[in-house]
Chain A
Amino acid sequence: MNGGIQRFLRHRPAVGGLTLLLLVLLAAALAGVLYPGNPFAIVGQPFQPPLGEHVLGTDALGRDLAAGLLHGARTTLLVGVVATVIATVAGVTIGGLAGYFGGRLDNLLMRFTELFQTIPFFLFAILLVAVLGASIHSVIFAIAVVSWPPMARLVRGEFMAMRNREFVQACVSLGMGHTRIIVLHILPNTLSSIIVTGSVMVATAILIESGLSFLGLSDANTMSWGFIIGSGRTVLRTAWWICAVPGVAILLTVMAINLVGDGLNDALNPRLRSL
């Protein structure tokens, strides 16, 4: 594992991404300290450009963009991480069972997975939020529901490959039960792939969340980056900063997560590096 950390730290873009990601985390953590109170509160004249009275200016209703950005970071990260955790747990469970047991169960679970993959994922997410009502919980649920199939397919492949390895056969001949073999022997060997895919999934989840808020399909009482962009889109030509500030934030965060994912991939799967 120490070797993995060293390999990660040698990967310059990944360290850059990690730094950026830590800054976003710091921003989210300090939101309540730097901008106490409601980020929806009106603080002054609308359409103030950045670097004036307020660091990042104000939006169409005179709300402070900097406060929105920091509080929005909380929502964005929360949605990204929680949705990914749910999708990963579901994907690993379904893919793992399918890959380990194979046969009919595999057939059943994979057809079920394909059912989800046949629907364009963003439309599906919109549909789910529209049906369930626009709340932070339904947004997280919708993102998780559209995100798990790729994870399930990946884990299934890994489990199928591991299932036939001799060390797993050795476990069987030692008389171990399925649960023990899956949890203690196969899962740790697939963890690196799961972590790498999961990290990239966080980035996708953030993009979906932004897209949903942009369309107004988000919790109206929760500040998020997509919500700010959505509210500023009608005044894009006169007050560009309203869209640009959260837009750049999304861009940098997603990029940072992808770079970290790349770095993790190199660090945890060193065999792939020489290819």
Chain B
Amino acid sequence: MNAAKNPDAPLLLIEGLSVSLPASADRRHAVEDVSLELGRNQILCVVGESGSGKSVMSRAILGLFPSRHVQPSAGRIVFDGEDLLQATPERLRELRGNRIAMIFQEPMTALNPVLRIGAQIDEVLEIHRAGDGPARRARVLELLAAVNLPDPQQILSAYPHQLSGGQRQRAMIAMALALEPDILIADEPTTALDVTTQAQILSLIRELQRKKGMGVIFVTHDFGVVAEIADRIAVMQHGRLVEQGSAAEVLHRPQAAYTRSLLAAVPSLTPGPKRDFSAQPVVLGVNGLNKSYRSGGGLFGGKGRSVDALAGVSFSVRRGETVGIVGESGSGKSTAARCIARLIEADSGQIMVEGVDIAPLTPRALRPVRRRMQMVFQDPFGSLNPRRTVGQLISEGPIVHGVSAASAHARTLELLELVGLERRAAERFPHEFSGGQRQRIGLARALALEPAILVADEPVSALDVSVQDQVLRLLADIRNRLGLTVLFITHDLRVASQVCDSIVVMHKGRVVESGPVAEVYAHPAHAYTQALLAAVPGRQWGNANEARAAAAATTAP
């Protein structure tokens, strides 16, 4: 729409951009001396772990800063011959949405919950004075159709909560594209989505970008996604640009050590060496587990809706084995874990722990059994009581079960060393630790009771990829050393392939397929498993990456 003044000039030029942080922050710049170019008809992926400054950098283009203490201190952002850092707020408002559009990570919070989808997209058109009422309405319908939303008429009058996560993200994209911008900035647009939805959104962004010839800045932490979509890649660490280049160069011949370590940390889809457990006894057996949730009804006597979170879930885990439950959100995998740990009550079914059905036990009778089965939680920030020291957190379990305070404390120090933390950590509070360290503390707490079975509910999904790698290695190491049986819940098929011996695939509360990882991955029998595997981002590149890593390993001394 907006013809170029000079067809050879880059669409967007960032030169020596620095964004300073307030004096109290742990570093001086959120972004330091970053220079980047975005060409026409190009997707530039900005990759980095949390705290790398990638989001601040991408938002700076639109003049969006998280607070008035975080402001650009040097550099230029040139768009169409104009330095955006010098632009007035009025000028920026004209550009936003119109020439440069943005989509966000969480479509639920980025859409206004009390306005209909149609009205929200229409508003964008209205603000930038694009046509009269009927013309705008026709345009909104066209946009909704363009992002492949089924039944645009109905979506038009729907509220955000009535759409699924993927549909909301499509609506967001429709809104961003309403005025045919030259540049689309996408800040982790698929991170909150399920893997199959993510694959659809990625191909949609790719398709629309080609059709409109847009420049796209795609911010992400996931190298799989990068491999799927990038033309060019910029890698950021601690606010600095460590490497940039074409997708092929960076993915296959990374120069910077940091990029290499990030790539190496991406878990492989090829399962590890096979371990045989057929001779071992079953220590955890789940038989016909059911759980349904009722919603609605209530005050006005309407008919409540009943959702089966678990419908006849059965599987078994042998001693020493690691079984993964994989599935997307709403598949019931977390509900299953919590039912098995008796944190929520199943409606019916057997939970056999070392030969005893724990489902009918009263809370009091259950307590001694609990020490045989321990849980590691997903959220490294929410799962540790902020008011207690790490030492108290770890030693409390044994003390509750009658171990003397002195020996519990001694054991705590051993456990801290086992999970790779210093003994001094016992005196400190959880907020003094990073996410990965907190997961180690959570693991130490679970191990303190010397359980036979460990139930890990998405223990690494909140962590950066390099930290995730470390925690997974630690988990595997401890599992092998202590002979633990592990039930590992994850949505990430890459992680599952590295950790698990066999997997159980769940979909809408049912087990659709189960078996040894290698077999299920090589010959998925169920259509849903096939779809899940096909949707894993960056499969092609992943295979090449592994081949390269294997080659490097054999040539290394």
Contact = CB atoms under 8 A, between A and B. Distances in A.
A240 B406 CA distance: 68
A18 to B, nearest CB: 25
Interface in B367-417: 367-368, 370-371, 373-375, 377-379, 382-388, 396-397, 400-401
B449 A174 contact: yes
Contact of B385 (A172, A175, A177, A189): A189
Given A175-B368, A175-B370, A170 B377 contact: yes
B377 A166 contact: yes
Contacts of B375: 169-170, 173
A69 B343 CA distance: 58
Nearest to B397: A174
Nearest to A174: B397
Interface string A4-48: 000000000000000000000000000000000000000000000
A170 B386 CA distance: 13
Contacts of A177: 367, 400
B442 interface: yes
B358 interface: no
A79 to B, nearest CB: 32
B449 A167 contact: no
A80 B268 CA distance: 66
A173 B382 CA distance: 15
A166 B383 contact: yes
A164 to B, nearest CB: 10
A41 to B, nearest CB: 52
B377 A174 contact: no
Interface string A54-93: 0000000000000000000000000000000000000000
A180 B383 CA distance: 17
A173 B400 contact: no
Interface string A237-272: 000000000000000000000000000000000000
B319 interface: no
Interface string A164-187: 011101111111110010001100
A82 to B, nearest CB: 28
A176 B401 CA distance: 8
Given A173-B374, A173-B375, A174-B445, A189 B386 contact: yes
Contacts of B374: 173-174
Given A175-B370, A176-B396, A185-B385, A170 B442 contact: yes
Nearest to A175: B370
A178 B196 CA distance: 41
Interface in A165-213: 165-167, 169-177, 180, 184-185, 188-189
B341 interface: yes
A189 B387 contact: yes
A185 B445 CA distance: 15
B343 A174 contact: no
Nearest to B341: A173
Contacts of B371: 174-175
A175 B383 contact: no
B385 A173 contact: no
Nearest to A169: B343
A174 B400 contact: yes
Contacts of A189: 385-387
A43 B367 CA distance: 71
Given A175-B367, A176-B396, A170 B383 contact: yes
Contacts of A176: 396-397, 400
Most buried by B among A167, A171, A177, A188: A167
Q: Interface majority SS on B: helix, strand, loop or mixed?
A: loop
Nearest to B67: A274
B21 to A, nearest CB: 16
Interface string B94-136: 0000000000000000000000000000000000000000000
A165 B377 CA distance: 11
Contacts, number: 64
B396 A174 contact: yes
Nearest to B374: A173
A235 B293 CA distance: 69
Contacts of B342: 173
A267 to B, nearest CB: 16
A33 to B, nearest CB: 42
A166 B381 CA distance: 9
Nearest to A180: B400
B298 to A, nearest CB: 13
Given A174-B400, A174-B449, A175-B370, A167 B384 contact: yes
Contacts of A188: 385, 387-388
A180 B392 CA distance: 13
A178 to B, nearest CB: 9
A101 to B, nearest CB: 12
Nearest to B392: A184
A165 B370 contact: no
Contact of A172 (B343, B373, B387): B343
A165 B366 CA distance: 21
Interface in B61-85: none
A170 B445 contact: yes
In this complex, the member of A166, A173, A175 whose beta carbon has the largest number of chain B beta carbons within 10 angstroms is A173
B370 A167 contact: no
A177 B364 CA distance: 8
Contacts of B382: 165-167
A169 B343 CA distance: 7
A175 B400 contact: yes
Interface in A209-227: none
Interface string A137-180: 00000000000000000000000000001110111111111001
B520 to A, nearest CB: 29
A167 B396 CA distance: 13
B24 to A, nearest CB: 12
Nearest to B367: A175
Interface in B321-366: 338, 341-343, 366
A269 to B, nearest CB: 13
Interface string B497-541: 000000000000000000000000000000000000000000000
A167 B385 contact: yes
Given A165-B383, A177-B400, 8 more contacts: A167-B383, A171-B396, A173-B373, A173-B375, A174-B396, A175-B449, A176-B396, A188-B388
27 contacts: A166-B377, A166-B379, A166-B382, A166-B383, A167-B384, A167-B385, A169-B375, A169-B377, A170-B377, A170-B383, A170-B442, A172-B343, A173-B343, A173-B370, A174-B371, A174-B400, A174-B445, A175-B370, A175-B371, A175-B397, A176-B396, A177-B367, A180-B400, A188-B385, A188-B387, A188-B388, A189-B386
**Interchain residue pairs A-B with the least CB separation, the first 4:** A166-B383, A175-B370, A174-B397, A175-B367
Interface of A: 165-167, 169-177, 180, 184-185, 188-189
